[in-house]
Structure 1
């Protein structure tokens, strides 16, 4: 696994997951050779064997680099070779399908670092929950992150339906109906209805994840997996935890 930007100085942490093979690949990342020496089996650990707080800190540090236009060295061919047979993402993320929201760019992460579930309005349906269950159970991600974003078209459509009684065509009705509860909850708050609905919609998805049995709820409640919610600002590039 090649993660030259986030794993410098990484120390093996508590959730040990045995890796096969006596040695790891020797890689070149960002112009620097990375060599993992042979370790005894009991000392081997997966690259994403970190806590949820550390995973979130890495993502937020990456977003700070993105905002400052100071991305770390990109690892391309070497990283592809390293993750071709196995992935170790540090987070599973629910985000919007909006073309302006690209998680690997926004958080300045190489391929293999973020397991992404994307759907308009960053809603969580049965298939999305199943994807997150796979990430938690099979990939051992330490962090689940729901990311809404400013000026979300799906939430805007729901606001238009609720406030202006506008009808939407096709299957957009199903999508809007899943977002409407957040708009209804935001209406009495005053202020910017769309901005408030975007936050509440992201929180609604997070609650669905937290309540999802039999895999996600106990993992979150037991502290094995951290759950967080954030909003991405399209203009500044900033991600804010909410």
Structure 2
């Protein structure tokens, strides 16, 4: 038999089927026995997906104008988020040292759920992070953020042999490079943009959980490109 003390530690959506007995134990909460959809995430931050995007972009504009307010970085904020996190946006950004989400969007502790990988592409680990943020934290906005002159994209564009596990990055980005061959304009930037759009589209089939969240109006997914020269984030997907 499970210790009743442990039940209080479960999330309000959590349920446990007791082995053998088939007994359903659930936390006491309003609407306890209501049937829930596959996606049950709640907007804990009490902000809509569209409002979250506007908040993010206002922060980027403050960064561009050098009028940053450095929000949520006080001693009281440290104490507040030590008790729990309620980010309003998930950002899949490149690992590039020049693309730090909290800085370029002028946000603070607990505001953004960061996932960073060179080339800002999807794999199972990244998807798991995104699903956790949407399902368990109720984050209403997901941004896949590429950037100007991305080194990982350039490696895929060059097509030269690379050492070690760097090849996994190149392999993941290569479909975006192939899709832009022969297009007018700058080949490097074309590939950067295509890589963002490819991964935004990939979410639709790669994660039923995220697709359900979008369908339910609980999550907005967008793709962006960060300009290294101006500091501006442009929504491109």
TM-score (structure 2 length as normaliser): 0.79
**Is 2:196 aligned against 1:199?**
no
Rg larger in structure: 2
Aligned to 1:30: none
C-alpha change, 1:188 and 1:221, in structure 2 (3 Å) is farther
When the two chains are superposed, the root-mean-square deviation of aligned CA atoms in Å is 1.7
Aligned to 1:23: none
Of residues 193, 208, 217, the one that matches 2:211 is 217
Aligned to 2:122: 124
Aligned to 1:100: 98
Tell me if structure 1 keeps the 8 A contact 2:89–2:143: yes
Tell me if structure 1 keeps the 8 A contact 2:225–2:233: yes
| Structure 1 residue 98, shift from structure 2 partner | 0.2
Tell me if structure 2 keeps the 8 A contact 1:210–1:220: no
Q: Where do 5+ consecutive residues of structure 1 fail to align?
A: 1-17, 19-40
Aligned to 2:180: 186
3-state SS of 2:206 partner: coil
Within 1, Cα distance between the matches of 2:114 and 2:177? 25
The farther-off stretch of 190-199 and 67-76 is 67-76
> Counterparts of 1:59-138 in structure 2 under 5 Å?
59-74=56-71, 75-138=73-136
| Structure 1 residue 85, shift from structure 2 partner | 1.5
TM-score (structure 1 length as normaliser): 0.77
Within 2, Cα distance between the matches of 1:46 and 1:149? 28
C-alpha change, 1:111 and 1:97, in structure 2 (3 Å) is same
3-state SS of 2:181 partner: helix
| Structure 1 residue 46, shift from structure 2 partner | 6.8
3-state SS of 2:180 partner: helix
Tell me if structure 1 keeps the 8 A contact 2:44–2:139: no
Within 1, Cα distance between the matches of 2:50 and 2:63? 20
3-state SS of 2:229 partner: coil
Aligned to 2:4: none
Runs of 4+ aligned residues of structure 1 deviating over 3 Å after TM superposition are: none
CA-to-aligned-CA distance 1:194-236 (integer Å, 9 cap, x gap): 1010001011111222323331111112321001010000111
**Is 2:142 aligned against 1:144?**
yes
> Counterparts of 1:22-61 in structure 2 under 5 Å?
48-61=45-58
Aligned to 2:158: 160
CA-to-aligned-CA distance 1:52-76 (integer Å, 9 cap, x gap): 1100000000000000110114432
Aligned to 2:222: 228
Equivalent pairs, count? 196
